[in-house]
C-alpha cells in the first residue's frame, strides 16, 4: 500500500492568501478574561495583556483576528467598551449566559492587535441593532476627527483613526439561537444598508456577509443565495462556518476534509449563480471565518461553571492526536481551494475550542492542533499546486476515501516546495512518492511528522505528549521526493527547488 503524487509547476490552483491563517477572539468563556487579558497575572504587561499568550499568537502569525463575535456580537453595545473603565457598565451576555464587565473593549482590542501583529475583522451587531449603530462604530474607528464619535476616540487616547478595513455584517443570522434571528431577505436588506453607510465613511471597507451557519441547517444554501441577491453590490465575501465532530467513529471523523471541500464548492456555485443572475463582472470570494473541531464540550456548559459569571469555563475542548490529524487535513482543504477561499479564521484562538490554552494562575501551552496550524501558516504561503494523487483507500459510509490527504505549496521567492500530507491509515505507515515535473529538487530542507501511538493523547500545561518529530529519512533524487509517513500522522516535507 503506497501513495503516489504528481506535481507540475504549471498546474496551479492559485496564490494562497495569507489571510486564511487568521484567528478569532470572541467575548466567550475565557477567550478574553484570563485568556488574552488578565491584569495582575505574572505575565501581564502594562495593558493587562498576557505576554505568554501574545508570544504564542505571534508564533502562529495570524494576519487577521475576528472580533468581538460570534454569537456574542448580536446583543452587544460596542459603546459599553470604550472610555474610562470605571464608568463602563456591566451587562448580561445573552448568547453565553455570562456577565460582560466591559473592562476589555474596542480600544483595548486595537492595542492588543498591534502587539499580536494582527489586524482586526470587526463584527457588527445586526441582530439587536442596525445600520445607524454600525455607522457610528465606523465613525469612531475610521474617521479622522471633527465629529462626535471620532473626537471621542481621540479623547479615549487614539489620536489616529484605526482604519479598520474588514467588517463582518452580522453573525449567523440564519440561526434560531441568534439574537435578532431573521429571514435572509430581511437580513440582506439590513446588511446592504449598513454596508452602504460604513463605506460612505470608509471607501476602502471590505464586507463579509452572513452565509449559512452550517452546511447541516435546512436553509443551506438557499439562505446564501437570497442574501447574495440582496447584498451582491456591497459584499466582497460571504461567510462559511463549520465545526467537525467525532460522533460516528474515527474513520468517519477523518473524512472532515471532504465535507469541508463539498461545502466550499457548493457555496462557490451559489456565488457564481447569483453573479450570472446579476449579470455582474464581480466575483464574490469566501471567508471561512469559523472552522474547527468542536464536540467534547457541546451541551456541557451548565456543568462546567456557574451561569451569569465573568469568564465562565466553557467550550474548553482539550484536543487529541486524532483532532490534530483532522485539523491538518482541513488546512490542506483550505489551501486546495485558495482560488476562492481568501479568508479563514480558526475559531477560536485562546481557551475556547482553541490551539492555545491558559491557566488562571499558571502559564500558557500548545494544544495538539497548534502544530499543524503553525507549520501551515509558516510554510503554506505561495502558489498551491494541483495534487494528482494515487493512493490506497478505506471504505466509510459506502464511499472510498484515499489514505492520503495533502496539499503542495510552491514558494518561488524562497525557492521551496512544501508538501503537507496526512496519512489516514490508522494501522500502517504509508510510503509516499512525489514525482516533480518542471521542478528540480536540490535537497530536503525539513521533514516534520506529528504522530502518537495513542490517538487520544493530549497536551496539558506541564506535559506535551503530542509534539513534532524531526525526521531525516525523506529523500530527494532523480526528480522525486520519497518519504515514509507514519501511521495516523500529519507530515510536512520542505524541499529546496532549483
Which are the contacts of 50, defined by CB distance < 8 A and separation ≥ 6? 35, 36, 37, 38, 41, 43, 44, 358, 364
Determine phi and psi for 82, rounding to 5 degrees. -125, 165
What is the structure's pLDDT at 304? 62
For 409-428, the DSSP string reads EEETTTTEEEEEEEE--SSS
What is the structure's pLDDT at 301? 67
Contact between 384 and 409 under an 8 Å Cβ cutoff? The reply is yes
Which triple of cell numbers denotes residue 203? 471607501
Name the DSSP letter for residue 386: P
From the list 119, 133, 206, 290, the catalytic residue is 290
What is the structure's pLDDT at 150? 98
For 245-301, the DSSP string reads --SS-HHHHTTHHHHHHHHHHHHHHHHHHHHHHHT-S---EEEEEEEEE--SSTT-H
Strands (E), 331-440: 341-346, 356-358, 364-366, 383-385, 388-391, 393-396, 399-402, 404-411, 416-423, 430-437
The CA distance from 39 to 52, in Å, is 13
List, for the chain, all residue ranges whose pLDDT scores fall below the cut of 50: none
162: nearest Cα among 27, 67, 21, 289: 67
What is the structure's pLDDT at 300? 72
Domain boundaries, the chain: 3-9+384-497, 17-379
CATH topology assigned to domain 3-9+384-497:
Immunoglobulin-like (2.60.40)
Contact between 108 and 102 under an 8 Å Cβ cutoff? The reply is no
CATH of 17-379, one of 3.40.50.720, 3.40.50.150, 3.20.20.80, 2.70.98.10: 3.20.20.80
Residue 172 annotated among the catalytic residues of the structure: yes
What is the structure's pLDDT at 108? 98
Residue 26 annotated among the catalytic residues of the structure: no
The CA distance from 46 to 365, in Å, is 22
Determine phi and psi for 85, rounding to 5 degrees. -60, -40
Kindly give the pairing relationship between strand 480-485 and strand 404-411: unpaired
Determine phi and psi for 279, rounding to 5 degrees. 55, 45
SS3 percent helix, strand, coil of the chain, rounded to 5, is 30, 30, 40
From the list 172, 226, 230, 316, the catalytic residue is 172
pTM of the model: 0.97
Helices (H) and strands (E) in the chain, counts: 11, 28
Strands (E), 16-107: 23-24, 64-67, 91-93, 98-100
Kindly give the pairing relationship between strand 119-124 and strand 166-169: parallel
The CA distance from 264 to 261, in Å, is 5
Q: How confident is the model over 198-255, as pLDDT tens digits?
A: 999 999 999 999 999 999 999 999 999 999 999 999 999 999 999 999 999 999 999 9
Residue 400 in 3-state DSSP? Answer: strand
Amino acid at each position: 500500500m503506497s501513495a503516489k503524487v504528481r506535481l507540475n509547476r504549471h498546474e496551479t490552483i492559485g496564490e494562497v492568501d495569507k489571510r486564511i491563517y487568521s484567528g478569532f477572539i470572541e467575548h466567550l468563556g475565557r477567550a478574553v478574561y484570563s485568556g488574552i487579558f488578565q491584569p495582575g497575572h505574572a505575565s501581564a504587561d502594562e495593558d493587562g495583556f498576557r505576554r505568554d499568550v501574545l508570544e504564542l499568537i505571534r508564533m502562529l502569525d495570524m494576519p487577521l483576528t475576528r472580533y468581538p463575535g460570534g454569537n456574542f456580537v448580536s446583543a452587544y453595545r460596542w459603546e459599553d467598551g470604550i472610555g474610562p473603565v470605571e464608568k463602563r457598565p456591566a451587562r448580561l451576555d445573552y448568547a453565553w449566559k455570562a456577565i460582560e464587565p466591559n473592562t476589555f473593549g474596542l480600544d483595548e482590542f486595537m492595542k492588543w492587535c498591534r502587539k499580536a501583529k494582527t489586524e482586526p475583522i470587526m463584527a457588527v451587531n445586526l441582530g439587536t441593532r442596525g445600520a445607524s449603530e454600525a455607522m457610528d462604530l465606523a465613525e469612531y474607528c475610521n474617521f479622522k476627527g471633527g465629529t462626535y464619535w471620532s473626537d471621542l476616540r481621540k479623547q479615549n487616547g487614539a489620536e489616529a483613526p484605526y482604519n479598520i478595513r474588514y467588517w463582518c455584517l452580522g453573525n449567523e443570522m440564519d440561526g434560531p439561537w441568534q439574537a435578532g434571528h431573521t429571514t435572509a431577505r430581511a437580513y440582506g436588506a439590513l446588511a446592504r444598508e449598513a454596508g452602504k453607510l460604513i463605506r460612505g465613511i470608509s471607501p476602502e471597507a471590505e464586507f463579509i456577509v452572513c452565509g449559512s451557519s452550517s452546511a447541516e441547517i435546512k436553509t443551506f444554501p438557499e439562505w446564501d443565495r437570497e442574501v447574495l441577491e440582496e447584498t451582491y453590490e456591497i459584499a466582497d465575501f460571504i461567510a462559511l462556518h463549520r465545526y467537525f465532530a467525532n460522533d460516528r467513529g474515527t474513520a468517519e471523523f477523518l473524512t472532515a476534509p471532504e465535507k469541508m471541500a463539498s461545502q466550499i464548492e457548493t457555496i462557490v456555485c451559489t456565488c457564481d449563480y447569483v453573479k450570472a443572475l446579476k449579470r455582474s463582472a464581480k466575483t464574490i470570494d469566501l471567508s471561512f471565518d469559523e472552522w474547527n473541531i468542536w464536540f467534547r464540550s457541546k451541551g456541557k456548559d451548565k456543568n462546567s461553571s456557574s451561569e451569569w459569571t465573568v469568564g465562565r469555563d466553557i467550550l474548553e475542548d482539550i484536543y487529541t492526536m486524532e483532532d490534530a490529524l483532522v485539523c491538518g487535513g482541513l488546512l490542506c482543504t483550505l489551501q486546495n481551494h485558495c482560488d476562492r477561499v481568501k479568508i479563514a479564521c480558526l475559531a477560536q484562538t485562546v481557551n475556547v475550542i482553541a490551539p492555545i490554552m491558559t491557566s488562571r494562575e499558571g502559564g500558557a501551552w500548545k494544544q495538539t492542533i497548534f502544530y499543524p496550524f503553525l507549520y501551515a501558516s509558516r510554510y503554506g504561503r505561495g502558489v498551491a499546486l494541483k495534487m494528482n494523487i494515487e493512493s490506497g483507500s478505506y471504505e466509510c459510509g459506502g464511499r472510498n476515501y484515499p489514505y492520503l490527504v495533502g496539499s503542495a505549496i510552491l514558494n518561488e521567492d524562497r525557492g521551496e516546495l512544501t508538501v503537507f500530507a496526512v496519512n489516514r491509515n490508522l494501522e500502517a505507515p504509508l510510503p509516499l512518492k512525489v514525482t516533480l515535473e518542471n521542478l528540480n529538487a536540490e535537497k530536503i530542507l525539513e521533514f516534520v511528522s506529528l504522530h502518537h501511538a495513542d490517538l487520544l493523547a493530549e497536551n496539558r500545561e506541564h506535559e506535551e505528549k503530542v509534539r513534532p518529530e524531526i525526521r531525516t529519512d525523506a529523500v530527494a533524487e532523480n526528480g522525486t521526493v520519497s518519504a515514509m509517513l507514519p501511521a495516523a500522522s500529519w507530515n510536512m516535507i520542505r524541499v529546496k527547488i532549483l
